[in-house]
């Protein structure tokens, strides 16, 4: 196993421990929604977004507990997006992270509610003084996550994705929808680490540049994996984009050009990190990993 994969897995285990403690078990008649939240969030994901919070925050010596709380918050938003994306009214998938999707394991209404509750719980975590003692920092964290996950970000990207299924989108529109649908949350993960570290405007600018290219590289790699990956490694259905006639970077550029574009973006992303020297090595390595991964 590569050393960055091991570091990612170590952070994933730590985040899972935090999520296990932070997400309540729930009692009484509302218990099923808590159970479904835990089923979704504690499923075996890579925890890439919490990893980015942790590694960006480490550049500014942020306290580990604060990083874990912010990492858990962004993972809750990511998980909610997967739960809702898998619903019959969206992608209608039966398998996620190698297990039945939430609406299959429970039912549709519980899956909608568990997604809603994960989304709101993320903001509860960020707004809590344990995440940062300074209310201005907490407000900045909440603002960043709200903008990235709402209509200006992930939800807006999903809407463009749905409406563009009926038309043939241009490369510019695909890049915009992917930047919003997937890139915004990846950028937010890096921004949360920098905000917790009260980074200088110059450092924040570098982090934003890195995260934008990383997000796009991640999405192109995801499009490539939908063609070249297999269901065992991915833990979800593959080949769906082509089956649904979806325009992706692969359908637009072809497989080989899409792969080289992702590699180029990963290299470009790392260049933004020069000012941080060797401290940013894990962020450089994860950019490579994102385009070389098999799941």
Provide the β-strand partners of residue 224. Answer: none
List 48, 53, 77, 286, residue binding ligand GRG (CB under 6 A): 48
CB-nearer residue toward ligand GRG: 139 or 237: 237
Residue 45 as a binder of ligand GRG (CB under 6 A): the answer is: yes
Residues 244-283 that bind ligand GRG (CB under 6 A): none
CB of 39 to ligand GRG, least distance (A): 14
CB-nearer residue toward ligand GRG: 48 or 111: 48
182 DSSP assignment: I
Backbone angles phi, psi at 95, to 5 degrees: -125, 130
Q: Which long-range contacts (CB under 8 A, 24 or more apart) does 52-55 make?
A: 52/186, 52/189, 52/190, 52/193, 52/211, 52/214, 52/283, 52/286, 53/189, 53/190, 53/192, 53/193, 53/196, 54/11, 54/193, 55/193, 55/280, 55/282, 55/283, 55/286
Q: Where are the beta strands (DSSP E) in 84-237?
A: 95-96, 99-100
Residue 81 as a binder of ligand GRG (CB under 6 A): the answer is: yes
Q: Cβ(250)–Cβ(224) under 8 Å?
A: yes
Q: Binding segment for ligand GRG among 23-31, 75-83, 106-114, 208-216 (CB under 6 A)?
A: 75-83
Provide the β-strand partners of residue 258. Answer: none
CB of 188 to ligand GRG, least distance (A): 12
CB-nearer residue toward ligand GRG: 20 or 135: 20
List 14, 16, 213, 222, residue binding ligand GRG (CB under 6 A): 222
CB-nearer residue toward ligand GRG: 45 or 169: 45
CB-nearer residue toward ligand GRG: 66 or 181: 181
CA distance 210 to 270: 6
* Longest CA pairwise span in the chain (Å): 54
How many of the chain's residues bind ligand GRG (CB under 6 A)? 16
Among residues 66, 110, 61, the alpha carbon closest in space to that of 87 is found at 110
49: enclosing H helix or E strand: helix 48-58
Q: Which residue has 């960043």 as its token pair?
A: 144
CB of 9 to ligand GRG, least distance (A): 12
List the x/- string, 152-191, binding to ligand GRG by CB under 6 A: --xx--x----------------------xx---------
CB-nearer residue toward ligand GRG: 203 or 263: 263
CB-nearer residue toward ligand GRG: 239 or 271: 239
CB of 264 to ligand GRG, least distance (A): 19
Tokens matching residue 59: 């550049």
Q: Which residue has 């996550």 as its token pair?
A: 145
CA distance 102 to 94: 9
List 5, 7, 46, 142, residue binding ligand GRG (CB under 6 A): 46
Residue 69 as a binder of ligand GRG (CB under 6 A): the answer is: no
Residues 87-146 that bind ligand GRG (CB under 6 A): 90, 97
CB of 225 to ligand GRG, least distance (A): 9
Residues that bind ligand GRG (CB under 6 A): 45-46, 48, 78, 81-82, 84-85, 90, 97, 154-155, 158, 181-182, 222
């Amino acid at each position: 196993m590569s050393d960055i994969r091991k570091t990612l897995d170590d952070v994933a285990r730590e985040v899972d421990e935090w999520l296990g403690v932070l997400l309540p078990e729930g009692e009484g008649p509302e218990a099923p929604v808590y159970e479904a939240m835990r089923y979704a969030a504690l499923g075996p994901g890579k925890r890439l977004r919490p990893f980015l919070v942790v590694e960006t925050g480490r550049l500014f010596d942020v306290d580990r507990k604060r990083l874990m709380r912010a990492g858990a918050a962004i993972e809750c938003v990511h998980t909610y997006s997967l739960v809702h994306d898998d619903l019959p009214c969206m992608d209608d998938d039966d398998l996620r992270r190698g297990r039945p999707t939430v609406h299959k394991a429970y039912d549709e209404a519980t899956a909608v509610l568990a997604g809603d509750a994960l989304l709101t719980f993320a903001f509860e975590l960020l707004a809590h003084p344990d995440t940062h003692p300074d209310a201005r920092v907490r407000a900045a964290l909440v603002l960043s996550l709200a903008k990235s996950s709402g209509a200006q970000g992930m939800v807006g990207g999903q809407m463009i994705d749905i409406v563009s299924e009926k038309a043939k989108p241009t490369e510019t529109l695909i890049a915009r929808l992917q930047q919003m649908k997937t890139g915004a949350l990846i950028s937010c993960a890096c921004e949360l680490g920098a905000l917790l570290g009260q980074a200088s405007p110059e450092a924040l600018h570098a982090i934003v540049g890195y995260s934008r290219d990383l997000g796009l590289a991640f999405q192109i790699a995801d499009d490539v994996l939908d063609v070249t990956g297999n269901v065992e490694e991915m833990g979800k259905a593959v080949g769906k984009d082509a089956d649904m006639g979806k325009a992706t970077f692969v359908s637009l550029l072809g497989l080989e050009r899409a792969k080289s574009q992702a590699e180029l973006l990963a290299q470009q992303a790392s260049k933004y990190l020069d000012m941080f020297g060797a401290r940013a090595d894990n962020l450089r390595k994860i950019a490579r990993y994102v385009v070389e991964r098999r799941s």
